[in-house]
Amino acid sequence: MASISFKNITKRYGAGKTAVQILHGIDAEIADHEFIVIVGPSGCGKSTLLRMVAGLEEVTGGQICIDGKVVNELEPAERDIAMVFQNYALYPHMSVFDNMAYGLKIAKVPVSEIKTRVDKAAGILELGHLLARKPRELSGGQRQRVAMGRAIVRQPQVFLFDEPLSNLDAKLRVQTRLEIQKLHRELGITSLFVTHDQVEAMTLAQRMMVMNAGRMEQFGTPEEVYHRPATTFVASFIGSPPMNLLKHAIGARPGHILGIRPEHLNVGTDGWQAVVESVEMLGAERLLYCKSGDEQLVVRLDESALSPALGQTIGLVPRADRVHHFDAATGLRISD
């Protein structure tokens, strides 16, 4: 197991005037045993960064270190990492056991050791009764567990997960997230997990790296990122529904954007006057979609709260201790 260090990492395709910059100076220190989620929208550079750690993409500038060793020029096989892909990448003609054992056979690990490792990984992932089956006989969730098992038997220093849950339905995604959490608790291997899903990021991460357009907008715990977003991008990307960002609300300072999360708006008769345009029922809660002047707002109500009628004018009062301020020109958080 190992720490990972990003030192001013840049990535560029092409040269001269036609060059395209993908990553712009990523700096981060990841401790041994940490589970880090790299999250951001499609095209932000998160998978490129992961592939650079794996050795599948060249580093244009800066250094990537694993366990204190610069790995920029090392081949993937020399980095002691194991990667889990979105599409499982299983051999269809091989059994589950053989898929999990294949890399060890190539590495000429003794047969008895291979069996011990595969059996242990199968036990952790509850795959013991499936070892004789072929991938076509498995569900999507089972195939993904086989892919994780193949990584586990390698006993690497670092796990790399490249959107491994994207092909699963909603129920399986939740189940597999729980299995990944359990896996990390048991093995404690330093892990990088890439996703575009902020719910996955919030539930899995010990710390999360929020990326946008090739830049790291914020690196912190889910609590830090949610409660003290560093930029308007982070505020609007993390949270479901996202933070309300208002330019003209009462209380917004000149040149500032005022931010307030939907659950931190109290409904009454005083405060910002807003018209209820839509109500979304989500079981344990309701979301009110409102308009106040030219500002759109979302309000989260507990199921026990009285829901206003469509077209009704209500008052919205933000909790004073939950109001955020951002610079309108830069999008950066203004210190409280």
Question: What does the pLDDT look like over 168-193, one tens digit per residue?
Answer: 888 888 888 888 898 899 889 999 99
Alpha helices in the chain (DSSP H): 46-54, 96-106, 111-124, 140-152, 170-187, 198-204, 222-227, 232-237
Higher pLDDT, 167 or 79: 79
Residues 164 and 175: beta-carbon distance below 8 Å: no
* Residue 78 identity: E
Look at the chain and count its residues: 336
* pLDDT average, residue stretch 87-115: 91
Cα separation, 14 vs 20, in Å, equals 6
> Which pLDDT score, from 0 to 100, does residue 209 have?
98
Residues 289 and 246: beta-carbon distance below 8 Å: no
> Which pLDDT score, from 0 to 100, does residue 87 have?
80
pLDDT higher than threshold 70 for residue 336: no
Taking only the tens place, the pLDDT of each residue in 304-325 is 888 899 999 999 999 999 999 9
Spell out the domains of the chain, with CATH numbers in brackets: 4-231 (3.40.50.300), 241-327 (2.40.50.140)
pTM above threshold 0.85: yes
For residue 249, what pLDDT band results from cuts at 50, 70 and 90?
Answer: low
* Residue 329 identity: A
Closest listed residue to residue 188, CA positions, set 210, 155, 145: 155
Higher pLDDT, 179 or 131: 131
> Which pLDDT score, from 0 to 100, does residue 253 have?
66
Cα separation, 64 vs 1, in Å, equals 16
Burial class (CB in 10 A: 0-12, 13-18, 19+), 317: middle
> Which pLDDT score, from 0 to 100, does residue 53 have?
97
Cα separation, 247 vs 259, in Å, equals 9
What rounded mean pLDDT belongs to the chain?
Answer: 92
Cα separation, 140 vs 143, in Å, equals 5
Taking only the tens place, the pLDDT of each residue in 26-80 is 999 999 999 999 999 999 999 999 999 999 999 999 999 999 999 999 999 899 9
Cα separation, 335 vs 97, in Å, equals 54
pLDDT higher than threshold 90 for residue 220: yes
> Which pLDDT score, from 0 to 100, does residue 282 have?
87
Q: 50: Cβ–Cβ under 8 A, 6 or more apart, which residues? A: 38, 160, 162, 192, 194
Residues 90 and 139: beta-carbon distance below 8 Å: no
What are the CA-CA distances from residue 222 to residues 33, 208, 233, 304 (Å)?
A: 17, 6, 15, 28
How many percent of the chain have pLDDT more than 90? 71
For residue 268, what pLDDT band results from cuts at 50, 70 and 90?
Answer: confident
- What token pair was written down for 153? 């038997």
pLDDT higher than threshold 80 for residue 252: no
Burial class (CB in 10 A: 0-12, 13-18, 19+), 114: buried
For residue 248, what pLDDT band results from cuts at 50, 70 and 90?
Answer: confident
